[in-house]
Amino acid sequence: MNLSEGVQIVSFVVLAALTLCAALGVVLLEEIVYSAFLLGAVFIGISGLFILLNADFVAAAQILIYVGAVNVLILFAIMLVNKREPFAPSRNLWIRRSATAVVCLGIFALLGTMVIATPWAIAPSPGPVDTVLKIGIHFFSDYLLPFELASVLLLMAMVGAIILARRDFIPEVTIPGATSEPLALPERPRELPSERVGS
């Protein structure tokens, strides 16, 4: 075993331990803000594992999308809606926890069996592969239709978010005798630069 293999093994052990400990913290901690921060640590650990697999584009996308967008959105949602309300203790809580533990152990055993039974031997590659170029070629040839459908879906979600954010401006009560004109959302009047200078 040369130096590079030893560094890869140590890096894998450290990243795997970080990811597992952070994932356990996400599930076991009662403070939801700490769980959200540990979820970001899980995403960073997974990104490091992708780097060890020479998947540089997937690792960068993991950081940009999951840590920079999804996790930040979760944190904003938690901090905006974090109402401290006392919850009544539920009955037979040990049954729920026992069932959750059994399901988690079953999934862990299934994944462990899959890891042990899968042949992980990889044929040596002829040289370095440009993953970004290959992903771009597949995006615009084989997977062009799903790629465009995903962009249309994101556009619909953005329009829906704008409508929901401005729902306070839409009048809910109709005025009797009013003409049936399309609703126009009131805008705040803007001051012209000449008016600011004159005032």
Distances in Å between the Cα of 138 and the Cα atoms of 38, 54, 101, 118, 150 are: 34, 18, 41, 26, 15
Query: What is the average pLDDT across 3-8?
Result: 78
Please determine, for residue 187, whether its predicted confidence score (pLDDT) is greater than 70: no
Please determine, for residue 35, whether its predicted confidence score (pLDDT) is greater than 80: yes
10 Å Cβ neighbour count for 66? 18
Q: From CA 61, how far away is CA 50, in angstroms rounded?
A: 10
CB distance 131 to 56 below 8 Å: yes
* Structure confidence at residue 19 (pLDDT): 93
16-33 burial code (b ≥16 CB/10 A, e <16): eebbeebbebbeeeeeee
Query: What is the average pLDDT across 105-128?
Result: 82
Q: From CA 26, how far away is CA 35, in angstroms rounded?
A: 4
Q: Report the predicted TM-score, pTM, of the whole model to 2 decimal places.
A: 0.60
Please determine, for residue 99, whether its predicted confidence score (pLDDT) is greater than 70: yes
Query: What is the average pLDDT across 111-125?
Result: 82
Split at pLDDT 50, 70, 90, the class of 15 is very high
